[in-house]
Amino acid sequence: MLTNFYGFNTTCKGLNLAPMFAGIWAHEGFGVANNSGHEAQGRIAAANPLNDPHTAAEGFYNKDEATVRTLIENEVWQKDVAISNFSAQHTYVKNNWCGSVWLWDLTANAYAFTPIIANGGCL
């Protein structure tokens, strides 16, 4: 009989994967506590005045349109990169779910009950 990750865990082993999937959504979203998700961290970074491109754009006057457009595009890009880099860190994005699931082990050619570890800790 052939099965996939979901089927093996739920049907064959009776494991409820709902908490893991909720943890994944929390990890990528707002987190389960203390803004422990990537989206929450991104919004925190976006709210930081240092990441507001308007403040830098205020100094772009007395220049032609093409120059102003280029300066603003560069400034917005730099702020976007700063926000993305901040939200990608796992300093605060963690502990949204801890547990083990059955994963296919290529070496053993069988499923193995494996703890899910992301960046040295829980999702």
44-74 per-position pLDDT tens digit? 999 999 999 887 777 777 788 898 889 889 9
Q: What percent of the chain has pLDDT over 90?
A: 76
How much is the mean pLDDT over the chain?
Answer: 92
pLDDT at residue 103 in the model:
96
pLDDT at residue 54 in the model:
80
pLDDT band at 82 (very low <50, low <70, confident <90, very high): very high
pTM over 0.95: no
d(CA 116, CA 90) in angstroms, rounded, equals 15
Whether the CB-CB separation of 123 and 97 falls below 8 Å is answered with yes
Structure tokens belonging to residue 25: 């959504």
Position of tokens 């901040």? Answer: 86
> What DSSP string describes 77-119?
HHHHHHHHHHHH--SSS--S---EEEEEETTTTEEEEEE--BT
d(CA 110, CA 119) in angstroms, rounded, equals 25
pLDDT band at 37 (very low <50, low <70, confident <90, very high): very high
